[in-house]
Structure formats: structure tokens, C-alpha cells
Amino acid sequence: MSDRELYCDSCEGVVPFEAPPCADGHGVDCPELVCTGCGAAVLIATFTFRAPRLASRRRVTPHRRAA
């Protein structure tokens, strides 16, 4: 289950989008989302998912040592 709120041109507002059953074999990495308001499908760029992962990785880098 992956619900996201995105702007929909058809609904003219921010509405929840949900991942539809993928017919292309993308699995959990499927970049397709469907508007729950009007049913319009949109493709989202994969780099929007990678950005937060890179940011959190850098924070994890430990600089302190326990004595």
C-alpha cells in the first residue's frame, strides 16, 4: 500500500494517488500512480524516491566513537 498526495490536473487540486495493479512487471518499483478522484494515471520519476534515501544515508555516517 503506497498512497501519495499529488496535484491532479483533472481534479484541479491535490488528491490521494494510489499505485494500480502493475501490468508491466515493475512490482513494488512501479512508477505509475492512479488518481483516486478521477482515475487518471500518472508516471512519477524514480529519482523522487532515491533523494530521501541518499539524504538519510549521509546522516547515518558516524563521527563519534564511544570510549
> In angstroms, rounded to a whole number, what is the distance separating the alpha carbons of residues 62 and 21?
40
How far CA 36 is from CA of 23, 48, 65, in Å, comes to 18, 20, 49
Interface with Zn ion, residue 29, by CB under 5 A: no
In the set 5, 6, 16, 38, which binds Zn ion (CB under 5 A)?
38
CB closer to Zn ion, 25 vs 62: 25
Interface with Zn ion, residue 11, by CB under 5 A: yes
Phi/psi for 63 (5° steps) reads: -120, -10
In the complex, minimum distance from the CB of residue 57 to Zn ion, in angstroms, rounded to a whole number? 26
Site residues (vs Zn ion, CB under 5 A):
8, 10-11, 22, 24, 26, 30, 32, 35, 37-38, 40
